Amino acid sequence: MASKPIEDTADWVGTRLPRKEDLRLMTGGGKFLSDMVLPGMLHAVFVRSEYAHARIKGIDKSEAVAMPGVVAVYTGADIEHAFKALDIPVLIPNLPAQFPKYHALAVDKVRYHGEPVALVIARDKYVAEDASELVIVDYDELPVVIDAEAALEDGAPRVHDDSKDNEIFAMTFTGGETPEEQAANDVEVEKIFAEADVVVSERFKVHRTGVTPLEPRGVLCEWNESDGLTAYITTQRPHIDRLALVDVLELPAEKVRVIAPRDMGGGFGIKAPFYRENIIIAHAAMELGRPVCWVESRYESLMNIGQERDQINYMEIAATKDGELLALRNRGIGNNGAGCIGVYWGFVMPFLGAVEMPNAYTWPKGDVKLRVASTNKTSLTPSRAFGNFPTRFAIERSIDIVAHKIGMEPAELRRKNIIPQLPYTSITGEYYDSGDFLGVWDNLMAQIDLEAFRKEQAEARKEGRYIGIGFSCGVELSGVASDLMVPMENQPGYGAASVRLEPRGKVYVFGGDAPSGQGHETATAQAVAAIFGIDPDDIVVTTGDTTTTPFGSGSIGARFGSYYVSAVAKACEEIKDKITRILAHDLQIEAHKQHFEFKNGDIVYLGDPTKRKAFKDMVERIIMWPINLPEGEVGGLETTAFFEADKPMICFNADCCMVEVNEESGAFNITRWVTSEDVGNVINPTIVEGQMHGALVQGLSNTMFEEFVYDELGQQMSADFEHYKLATAADVPDFEITYSSTPCPHTPLGTRGIGEGRPSSVPGALTNAVCDALTPFGIEITELPLRPNTVWRKIQESKS
């Protein structure tokens, strides 16, 4: 998509505008949570469990308390009755599950290596760190269960004493609402499998990996009796965190304010849950009457959050010999870990992964079931591609395996089964509102010459070189409608924004969803600038302060381009209505909004372009001189708008990856990566491409490098960046991002929310390419991570 020249201010939408955020961030002027200092601020350090599963017999904190500079030490026993446990309604989704009770600090027992056990607060962070090592915890070790399938067996060690077993969540996603309907459906599916030409049946395993923003978490709380609690939290969802603090600490709602710092160093989902650390830091600040700050260390971060995926899928596909997909059957087993995180409890991610499993293909029938097991790992936390990564890998690999079985080109099999027309409701009940999947697919194929590649591949094989091509595609949520958000997370899905004009014609926008690097300030300003016909520099965007912004469920699930910016547009249009009503009255003409153009700082009457007024003058007139107004009008220009789409919305993409595999070592190189995107109308293509690059590299890094490793005792072996390897610049390729976009018909600007689910297309495309390269060996890889050693082993197995 070429950049549009800025001929007039209506062109701000669609322009590659450099970001408003960049100047401060490039010059050391960003203000991140750990940059904040308040007078009298104390520093907190957590003591965390050394065991994956152990009874706490006692804690001796006397030495730590006695250390000079230490102000307080809290243990589970100190806080157990001071405030509520974290199983409060605002943190509980409307899904049937065994929700474990847990406190801010472990009370009776620890359930994973790294769980918070005590909190040390001191005047100096070095002293707090020293004192934390003097807290002596007496543990009685308990049997540990790390494997999800083992956890679901009878007699497995029970992770939560208050649950009847380790099955935290189980659900059937197909066949109807009642067990009878579902059972009848299962019989029909079984019949299809029994009669099908081809059946593919594989066990797909995806390891534990996820997202690790470069800025870890942090909380800074201050308290005074008149204003109450102010909590600065690295959070994507300040309004939800505020409600949780109100409910757990049982404070009057007007006494709690949460502020997400304007600058946050990435989130990718991990800053979306409500965390127990927030509660104890707030409690300490209130009790001590001084600001208390906790900044998470990388070690703590890698042990506690950013862990997702970790799922086994027993997937079966029935197809005809001509490559028509007939039915999908899946038994998913998710490894939840201990699940002690508010809102998500771990299993909400695998839940959504199961909902989204059918992807872009027409399945006449399906039988999709999921079980999620509590284990002695840390909880799954939301990670970009929310729940989707393991199921998308399984589906996209299965499609290729079907193609290999019937001797069909995998690209052709995909095209044959891609949903030809939207809207469409999937076998799991997911509604796909709009788009042109085949258009996106055909655009991808137009970027590559598949026939030429196959010829080159055949030639290369003669020389002993193995090159391969792999495909995948992905339906991703574009925001999450209340229809899904209320049942899933007990929260609304609408977008909300306040737009306030000040007398000199400048515009302030306030949003409750807190961004963490996605360029929301810039994209919001571009949308507002286009609507009012003014310059993006005249727009100031404020996010994340619960006192000044309208309620929003947070920066999650690609809500910006779908819900949030739509609310901004709606608010701007309401203000335009008022401006034009008053302007028509001033000009003594019969005219409505559609008769005026807002352009290049002017408001022009289209019926007679000599009748015009400068935007800023008109704004000043309405705010400062509210006399001689039309009957019933008052002065002032400010409104809050809420946007809810009639239907859930999606975006769509297709990917192609080319590789060369070294048959001797198993090493593989990505030689080309091309994408085709339906991202709706684009506000800023450069920002969209940045989102895609980042998501693709996260996907590659998850697929090839990153892995959270636990030993058999549940000890975490990967809690630093030496052991938890992230992709560096030298590890990853360049990407060709291409577009085949359709405007979303349900949003005012035709935009779609993009980028959230995007990493999930990566493991399928890459692994398919590697397997395609190795077709002569008949290799089908069904487990991640995908590394040279696994590829090498597969080649050896095939040779022997």
Partner 1 sequence: MPTINVTVNGERYEETVPERLLLSDFLRERLSLTGTHIGCTYEGVCGACTIHLDGEAVKSCLMLAVQADGHAITTIEGLRDGSLTPLQAAFKANHALQCGFCTPGILMNMTEFLEKNPNPTDEEIRHGLVGNLCRCTGYVHIVKAVREAAQSTTR
Residue from 690, 743, 745, 785 touching partner 1 (CB under 8 A): that is 690
Shortest Å distance, C-beta 48 to partner 1: 14
The rounded distance, in Å, linking the Cα atoms of 558 and 648 is 12
Residues 19-58 that bind partner 1 (CB under 8 A): 19, 21-32, 34-35, 37
Closer to partner 1 by Cβ: residue 125 or 255: 125
503 contributes a contact to partner 1 by CB under 8 A: no
- 189-228 footprint of partner 1 as x/- string (CB under 8 A): ----------------------xxxxxx------------
Give the number of other CB atoms < 10 A from CB of residue 97. Answer: 22
Which one-letter amino acid corresponds to residue 301? S
Shortest Å distance, C-beta 419 to partner 1: 29
Task: Name the residue with tokens 């290596």.
Answer: 113
634 contributes a contact to partner 1 by CB under 8 A: no
Closer to partner 1 by Cβ: residue 35 or 227: 35
Q: Do the beta carbons of residue 87 and residue 690 sit within 8 Å?
A: no
Closer to partner 1 by Cβ: residue 213 or 337: 213
The rounded distance, in Å, linking the Cα atoms of 273 and 91 is 9
Give the helix/strand (H/E) hosting 319.
strand 308-319
Shortest Å distance, C-beta 271 to partner 1: 11
Shortest Å distance, C-beta 39 to partner 1: 14
Distance of CA 440 to the CA centre of its chain: 23
Residue 728, SS3?
Answer: coil
H helices, E strands: number in the chain = 21, 28
- 111-130 footprint of partner 1 as x/- string (CB under 8 A): ---------------x----
Residue from 537, 711, 721, 793 touching partner 1 (CB under 8 A): that is 721
Task: Name the residue with tokens 């040779």.
Answer: 799
- 508-547 footprint of partner 1 as x/- string (CB under 8 A): --------xxxx----------------------------
Alpha helices (H) along 545-614: 565-587
Closer to partner 1 by Cβ: residue 328 or 692: 692
Shortest Å distance, C-beta 89 to partner 1: 32
The rounded distance, in Å, linking the Cα atoms of 80 and 103 is 7
Residue from 350, 694, 757, 763 touching partner 1 (CB under 8 A): that is 694
Contacts (Cβ under 8 Å, ≥6 apart) of 340: 86, 100, 102, 111, 115, 276, 379
Q: Do the beta carbons of residue 765 and residue 459 sit within 8 Å?
A: no
Closer to partner 1 by Cβ: residue 19 or 160: 19
Contacts (Cβ under 8 Å, ≥6 apart) of 240: 90, 274, 343, 491, 553, 554
Closer to partner 1 by Cβ: residue 27 or 628: 27
Instruction: Indicate the length of the chain as a whole number.
Output: 800
Residue from 720, 793, 796, 798 touching partner 1 (CB under 8 A): that is 720
The rounded distance, in Å, linking the Cα atoms of 298 and 290 is 26
Shortest Å distance, C-beta 682 to partner 1: 14
Closer to partner 1 by Cβ: residue 562 or 684: 684
Compute and round to an integer the Cα radius of gyration of the chain. Answer: 28
- 60-68, 71-79, 593-601, 721-729 -> range binding partner 1 (CB under 8 A): 721-729
Closer to partner 1 by Cβ: residue 92 or 732: 732
- 331-339, 555-563, 616-624, 716-724 -> range binding partner 1 (CB under 8 A): 716-724
Shortest Å distance, C-beta 673 to partner 1: 10
Residue from 59, 135, 565, 697 touching partner 1 (CB under 8 A): that is 697
Closer to partner 1 by Cβ: residue 659 or 719: 719
Q: Do the beta carbons of residue 131 and residue 120 sit within 8 Å?
A: yes
CA distances from 245 to 56, 253, 347 (A): 27, 9, 23
Shortest Å distance, C-beta 460 to partner 1: 23
Shortest Å distance, C-beta 570 to partner 1: 27
Q: Would you state the structure tokens that stand for residue 450, as one six-digit string?
A: 């598949």
Cis omega before residue 273 (within 30°)?
A: no
CA distances from 7 to 10, 328, 525, 611 (A): 8, 52, 17, 22
Q: How many residues bind partner 1 (CB under 8 A)?
A: 57
- The side-by-side arrangement of strands in the sheet containing 650-661 is 466-477, 650-661, 668-678, 736-739
Give the helix/strand (H/E) hosting 439.
helix 437-447
Residue from 81, 164, 734, 800 touching partner 1 (CB under 8 A): that is 734
- 290-329 footprint of partner 1 as x/- string (CB under 8 A): -------xxx------------------------------
Residues 245-264 that bind partner 1 (CB under 8 A): 263-264
Q: Do the beta carbons of residue 287 and residue 172 sit within 8 Å?
A: no
Closer to partner 1 by Cβ: residue 512 or 759: 759
Residue from 210, 265, 353, 753 touching partner 1 (CB under 8 A): that is 265
Shortest Å distance, C-beta 593 to partner 1: 34
Cis omega before residue 423 (within 30°)?
A: yes
Shortest Å distance, C-beta 726 to partner 1: 5
133 contributes a contact to partner 1 by CB under 8 A: no
Single out the residue of 234, 311, 236, 317 nearest to residue 278, CA to CA: 234
279 contributes a contact to partner 1 by CB under 8 A: no
Rounded (10°) angle between helices 520-532 and 565-587: 20
Closer to partner 1 by Cβ: residue 350 or 554: 554
Closer to partner 1 by Cβ: residue 35 or 449: 35
- 103-111, 343-351, 541-549, 719-727 -> range binding partner 1 (CB under 8 A): 719-727
625 contributes a contact to partner 1 by CB under 8 A: no
Closer to partner 1 by Cβ: residue 379 or 522: 522
Give the helix/strand (H/E) hosting 474.
strand 466-477
Torsion from C-alpha of 597, 599, 602, 605, nearest 10 degrees:
-20
Residue 612, SS3?
Answer: strand
Q: Pairing mode, if any, of strands 431-432 and 736-739?
A: unpaired
Residue 246, SS3?
Answer: helix
- 13-21, 68-76, 426-434, 591-599 -> range binding partner 1 (CB under 8 A): 13-21
Which residues make up the interface to partner 1 (CB under 8 A)?
A: 18-19, 21-32, 34-35, 37, 126, 211-216, 263-266, 268, 297-299, 516-519, 686-687, 689-690, 692-698, 720-722, 726, 728-730, 732, 734-735
